[in-house]
Chain A
């Protein structure tokens, strides 16, 4: 047991130790300062910019940034959609996997472009290698880089000056790929390949088991795919079972590496903010709030998972290893519980155990992690989400100290509050409205026609509270751009593909547009120097305030839903 706990503590500490220098490096990259990789990448980037005729010195305002961001995302969506719906006849398809149905391709392409990776298919049978690499893995890079570039725009807007010139989007975007994601991916993929993760273009392998049966084993260019899936907080696995699959995550060391990989960039972005703005204290204040939130979710989960299932205990079965249903013995209960929270607080959504089998309270914690969606958060977008809560906290606490609220020397007024409020409402709206729609059909067991083959309850593998949690989880995961599933839900059908697809689109782009709009508007305002009456936004008191705002807005709006799902399940266990 103690080694298990030591293992997860080591994972956290190593991530933190690596993230601080990485943050410094990221700040230098976005600040256009010299880095040790310049000789390698300068010519490459120059070539790209020249070929695409992009003038990187042209500074953009926040609207131009958003225009660039949305237009390139739009193009990639169609590229991915085209490959997925035509992969059957396109090359690199040794296993002969079929083309995707339009509704599944719609959902898949969207969920990869928005960094969610909901995966209503199984990698082994659902996608060709071309689909994996160009349709999906390419989007792993660009969706992560989109988030990081948006975050760079935010950093630029938060500096102490009055400006509408916030750098060049294409510059931030390309550098996120070349300077940050690509080098880290190469390192991690190499490590994984050495550890036994396949990296080949050959089709299924045939092996003979000890019993003498022959089994066909899927393989492919997995090592490269798995590396960026974690580094870019994407989470979409090469194989259906994701990181629980032995070829995607062979042992404890790869588990640790993948765990560190998925958290390192969200951590590093916080420190990058500190270096970029020269406000290290603020970076630590943000990191403190996020870590407190993370621990409040992770600690109960690990405890509940390690304590085992009371229902099984009642049957007189000893559970020395903790609750092991749906878990891999090579990782154990503690590492699996830790992973389940890490993957839900940041928007990775890769899994190394089945969340459907987690204890009810662990399930509630996983749900809450995604409902809050601002503790660390996804690549770049985590800070954008957190920024909205900062604005709301600044507003309320500004009033509380008797001064018109200001953040980093800029007055927060009605317009910014309006945008922040809309973004804060959006997340509960999408989750609750989606779940309400699905519950409505399930409650009446409505025949769904084209939308679903059969009656609505047919998509639930579990009745009752757990079934409700499954539906709630699916929309929460979509809205948080997380991509993990509670599973047990029949989700590859037009109803789920299309409704979650819409949720994905809204919940990805609006929470990028909102914070950037606020930051852009604030950057345009006159800078007010700090005085003794100014509220310090890097103090511990303010951090508590932000935490309280996050808790009140998110946790409270989901309280009734959680009560009907995991809490009801938990209380009926005894």
Chain B
């Protein structure tokens, strides 16, 4: 997770904003969305009426001061709950705004059409000022500022950071390959591009609307939990209403304040007050990880993922391969081979090319070749190299070099062919070098497996998530890497439809599948997957199809997203348990207090030995109120997730939040009572 995005939990400015919002949210219309807190609001209003009637001479309801205190504590309970929600919202908004600012900084060469003469002027503007339909140009070395469609020209573009394919791709006007994505880099030529997205319709804007609550819809689990909490509220309404005739029968008058205090303490106000804050905080945490979600549901679903489809390059291995060995053909001098390999890579700007020079450890300029002509890699020849004097050196994939040499009538040496197979089986990529159409050896390129990736897969396995590696490599190479890093399955020589079929097959078994993708041809699979994460530098189609966008273009992000989803559910579950478990202590505080006056024997139930009925009731409602702000940090940060197996997590959480939820209020209420009894 990007630590730079952490703002302090209680930032002054945010606190101020949340404070104001706490009062605004008292509006019953807004409150109605939350049945638990809505009933508390009704209780608060009733207490207000009781206070007023006492001022007008009502004598059966206890002192004015006592009733006013109960009223104020209830009001505070409401404000605390609102504050939690408002703070979560404010943090989310602040986060989204700061992200938006950083995104505005890519320079764009915008074309201003002047007059009818088409004497176009090009000015550099920030990418944020580009509108849909605007034109811009990109030249060699430029980063494409925004998603768009090429309307003129052809260019090689480095999309390795997204697609993982180390070879640059060619994009040209017209046809399928006309779309370019923001963040990718033009390596050659010049293109004219038309912007295809409207500012304000970006995912970031959608996300901000989600956080602000206007368009925030409750997720399925949140709805189910709200139903459960409403049911608990209903049970305690029944308990409190029926208590009135019970008490009448026992000749025990109960004041309205005591009834409302009992009710408010019993209903799950703790989770009720924090519920929406938890949901917003979940999306906010995703945003902090630089992931933009289109809905809260997507985050929640991420926690349920059974199968994770990951591209090999960029996720499991570092985007680029590195040269690791030189294998000269039989009869070729090692030194000579290295020299040729180095010369062929002299002008090669690709990371692979650079790594060859690096491995050779010789400065190619020291060979002093005269009048070199560098042959660039083209999509057609699939090879690159150098021509000087009478020498033509080429390096490239096995197939392309074989074509080249066999065309010239030179057979492909068997020992090199064997080496090529051996390298493939070991997970490497062979790069064959030929001199004057004669094969002189092979360079081994190896994928560099990211450090710590094995541990991450181990962690996923413990979470119960099956990992599947997708790669364009041949099955041999794929299997080697899959075994080495410990993924559960792999798809080799993957075509876009393979991903789609794999997802469908898993889903048919009832599993939830997540995948990351970037290309337009990933779009159907992204849409089919239950959680589709599109790279920010992916195509527009990919971003539309997925339900999340990763701003960092980091393929390992899915692991974090899964954890965020799990945390979200866990936070709700544990706080619900905590809230309900608290009822045990509250019962033991309030029920004796209700009856002690007329049934002194029930002092036996006053196991906390609270000072007086009034102090017991006040202590319980005060505890009930202050537990909300005390739990705000937990609600916003989320309960920490450890992949230790479902039963172990349940045991741990049940112990902390269940047993803790029973014990803590006993201690808390007793301490508050000691304080309150000083004033009563």
Contact = CB atoms under 8 A, between A and B. Distances in A.
A16 interface: no
Interface stretch (A41-49, A230-238, A307-315, A550-558): A550-558
Contacts of B583: 552, 556
Contacts of A392: 228
Given A421-B227, A560-B243, A563-B595, A541 B573 contact: no
Contacts of A532: 461-464, 645-646
A191 to B, nearest CB: 45
Contacts of A552: 580-581, 583-584
B248 interface: yes
B306 interface: yes
Nearest to A567: B605
Interface string A436-452: 11011011100000000
Interface stretch (B68-76, B85-93, B468-476, B564-572): B564-572
Contacts of B8: none
A529 B566 CA distance: 19
Contact of B224 (A403, A417, A557, A567): A417
Given A396-B577, A535-B650, A564-B595, A402 B303 contact: yes
A533 interface: yes
A269 to B, nearest CB: 26
Interface in B212-248: 220-221, 223-225, 227-228, 230-231, 234-236, 238-239, 241-248
A403 B221 CA distance: 10
A440 B243 CA distance: 10
B599 A568 contact: yes
Interface in B630-649: 641, 645-647, 649
Interface residues of B, number: 78
Interface stretch (B148-156, B179-187, B651-659): B651-659
Among A400, A404, A432, A437, residue most surrounded by chain B Cβ atoms (within 10 Å): A400
Contacts of B580: 552
Contact of A435 (B246, B252, B306, B604): B246
A541 B654 contact: yes
B236 A564 contact: no
Nearest to B509: A529
A465 interface: yes
Interface in B604-639: 604-605
A553 B235 contact: yes
Residue picked from A465, A526, A556, most chain B C-beta under 10 Å: A556
Nearest to B590: A560
Interface in A35-69: none
A397 interface: yes
Interface string A395-429: 11111111110000100111001100110110011
Q: Determine which residue in A399, A409, A571 has the highest number of CB atoms from chain B within 10 A of its CB, and name it.
A: A399
A74 B418 CA distance: 84
B238 A399 contact: no
A9 interface: no
B550 interface: no
Contacts of B576: 396, 399
B239 A404 contact: no
A271 interface: no
A425 B231 contact: yes
Contacts of A531: 306, 464-466
A117 to B, nearest CB: 26
A541 B244 CA distance: 38
B408 interface: no
B663 interface: no
Contacts of A548: 581, 654, 658
B563 to A, nearest CB: 8
Contacts of B572: 399
Contacts of A533: 306, 463-465, 646
B280 to A, nearest CB: 17
A534 B646 contact: yes
B238 A526 contact: no
A468 interface: yes
A402 B239 contact: no
Interface string A219-252: 0000000000000000000000000000000000
B12 interface: no
A398 B250 contact: no
Interface in A366-416: 392, 395-404, 409, 412-414
A561 interface: yes
A404 B221 contact: yes
A100 B515 CA distance: 72
Contacts of A287: none
Contact of B238 (A428, A468, A527, A541): A428
B242 A433 contact: yes
B238 A425 contact: yes
Contact of B245 (A401, A412, A440): A440
B271 to A, nearest CB: 10
Contacts of B236: 557
B387 interface: no
A418 B231 CA distance: 8
B592 to A, nearest CB: 8
A536 interface: yes
B649 A439 contact: no
Nearest to A417: B224
A433 B246 CA distance: 10
Instruction: From A444, A548, A561, name the one whose CB has the most chain B CB atoms within 10 angstroms.
Output: A548
Given A399-B569, A424-B231, A433-B238, A564 B247 contact: yes
A188 B190 CA distance: 96
Contacts of A571: 599, 601-605
Nearest to B231: A421
Contact of A400 (B249, B602, B653): B653
Contacts of B565: 402
Contacts of B653: 400-401
A533 B592 CA distance: 44
B224 A401 contact: no
Contacts of A2: none
A402 B221 contact: no
Nearest to A569: B601
Most chain A beta-carbon contacts within 10 A, residue among B231, B301, B574, B658: B231
A414 B227 CA distance: 7
Interface in A517-566: 526-529, 531-536, 539, 541-542, 544-545, 548, 552-553, 556-557, 559-561, 563-564
Contacts of B510: 409, 526-529
Contacts of A424: 231, 235
A534 B595 contact: no
A572 interface: yes
Nearest to A551: B584
B591 interface: yes
A295 B525 CA distance: 55
A567 to B, nearest CB: 6
Given A425-B238, A557-B238, A557-B239, A567 B602 contact: yes
B228 A417 contact: yes
B674 to A, nearest CB: 24
B587 interface: yes
B511 interface: yes
Nearest to B248: A443
Contacts of B251: 443
A532 B488 CA distance: 14
Nearest to B465: A533
27 contacts: A398-B569, A403-B566, A404-B304, A404-B569, A412-B224, A417-B225, A421-B230, A424-B231, A425-B235, A428-B235, A433-B238, A443-B249, A444-B248, A528-B306, A532-B463, A533-B464, A533-B646, A552-B580, A560-B246, A560-B587, A560-B591, A561-B243, A563-B605, A564-B252, A564-B595, A567-B602, A568-B599
Interface of B: 220-221, 223-225, 227-228, 230-231, 234-236, 238-239, 241-252, 266, 300-301, 303-304, 306, 461-466, 509-511, 565-570, 572-574, 576-577, 580-581, 583-584, 587, 591-592, 594-595, 599, 601-605, 641, 645-647, 649-651, 653-654, 657-658
